[in-house]
Amino acid sequence: QSALTQPTSVSGSLGQSVTISCTGTTNDVGAYNSASWYQQHPGKAPKLLIYDISNRPSGISTRFSGSRSGNTASLTISGLQADDEADYYCSSRTSSGTLVFGGGAKLTVL
């Protein structure tokens, strides 16, 4: 199974918004409402930000939002804060019943 495609790095200024894309195929992102997003700070375990394309777990800020268009899922972070600087990973169910992750995107807050 091929990894989902994410930009290697993205950046945005404090207070601005940034969108991270996650491109898959008709066999994963485009086929199931299961795209999820994780935030990982250095040396820490990933934390679930978004599940089922656009749902936030309890306790996750409304500054984080998810969407999907065709085979591409997107994570938008609004009102960027210094603590948002981290790695972000997307994932999706596949037609084989497995899970596939994106390669990860490093967010730099300017």
Partner 1 sequence: QVQLQESGPGLVRPSETLSLTCAVSGGSITPYYWSWIRQPPGKGLEWLGHIYSSAINTYNPSLKSRITMSLDTSRNQISLRLTSVSAADTAVYYCARGTWGVTPWGLGTLVIVSS
Binding site for partner 1 (CB under 8 A): 1, 3, 32, 34, 36, 38, 45-48, 50-52, 55, 57, 89, 91-93, 96-104
| C-alpha closest to that of 76 among 63, 61, 94 | 63
In terms of CB distance, is 33 or 81 closer to partner 1?
Answer: 33
Burial of residue 104 (number of CB atoms within 10 Å: 0-12, 13-18, 19+): buried
What's the closest the beta carbon of residue 90 comes to partner 1, in angstroms?
10
Q: What is the DSSP letter of 83?
A: G
Q: Contact, 106 vs 50, CB < 8 A?
A: no
The answer to whether the CB of 10 falls within 8 A of the CB of 105 is yes
Cβ nearer to partner 1, comparing 14 with 51: 51
If the CB atoms of residues 55 and 61 are measured against partner 1, the closer one turns out to be 55
Shortest approach of partner 1 to residue 15 CB, angstroms?
A: 28
**Least distance between partner 1 and beta carbon 18 (Å):** 19
